[in-house]
Amino acid sequence: MAAITMMLTSVHCAAPTPTPGPPPPIESRVTSIRVTKLIAATRRPWQVTDRSVVSEVTRSPAFTAGIWHSASRRELIPQYQVEFFHDNTAESIYFLGTNSYPPKFPCYSFCSGWWLGAARPDGSFDPSRYSAIPDTRYIPLLDALDLP
């Protein structure tokens, strides 16, 4: 019985610590969105310029209503970089990743779901905080951004 208790204790996930997130993109200022796949051999970005899609993505609750958490010791490796542009200037930068990447115990590849990561002031990924995106928010977002 003690062995089972120890095993359950080691697998237990602590509740994430809430932390401030970045300000959401401002819909009226965003003129295009650039998406770059980060884990591919060729990192060829694609641009979203259709005004209705730009508005849909910018208004997504994934960006506007997220609760951000400290990553603590969790390893976050983003799969996509999402940049919100006003003309030719990136005003907001986010990163998207899945809960099962990289595959690790106890999830391996069985956990699903996506998370949103913040950028540091220099535009690089900030691994210290993330916001989990519920299915009802990430499915329309991935569809709008034409992601798998």
Determine what percent of the chain is predicted with pLDDT higher than 90: 41
Query: Does any domain span residue 138?
Result: yes
Query: Does any domain span residue 107?
Result: yes
Query: Does any domain span residue 2?
Result: no
Query: Does any domain span residue 120?
Result: yes
**Which residue carries 């591919």 as its tokens?**
40
Query: Does any domain span residue 10?
Result: no
pLDDT in tens, 62-118: 887 668 888 877 778 899 999 999 999 999 999 999 875 555 555 555 566 788 999
**pTM, rounded to two decimals:** 0.79
Report the C-alpha gap between 54 and 33 in whole angstroms.
7
Query: Does any domain span residue 12?
Result: no
- Total domain count for the chain? 1
Q: Alpha helix locations (H) across 28-134?
A: 51-58, 61-64
pLDDT surpasses 80 at 25: yes
pLDDT confidence of 4, banded at 50, 70, 90?
very low
pLDDT surpasses 90 at 124: yes
pLDDT surpasses 50 at 6: no
Query: Does any domain span residue 62?
Result: yes
| Distances from the Cα of 84 to the Cα of 7, 22, 72, 76, 126, angstroms | 44, 13, 27, 21, 17
Please, is 31 exposed, middle or buried when counting C-beta atoms within 10 Å of its C-beta (0-12, 13-18, 19+)?
Answer: middle
pLDDT confidence of 19, banded at 50, 70, 90?
confident
**What pLDDT score was predicted for residue 143?**
92
Query: Does any domain span residue 1?
Result: no
pLDDT confidence of 12, banded at 50, 70, 90?
very low
Provide the residue range defining the domain that includes 70.
18-144
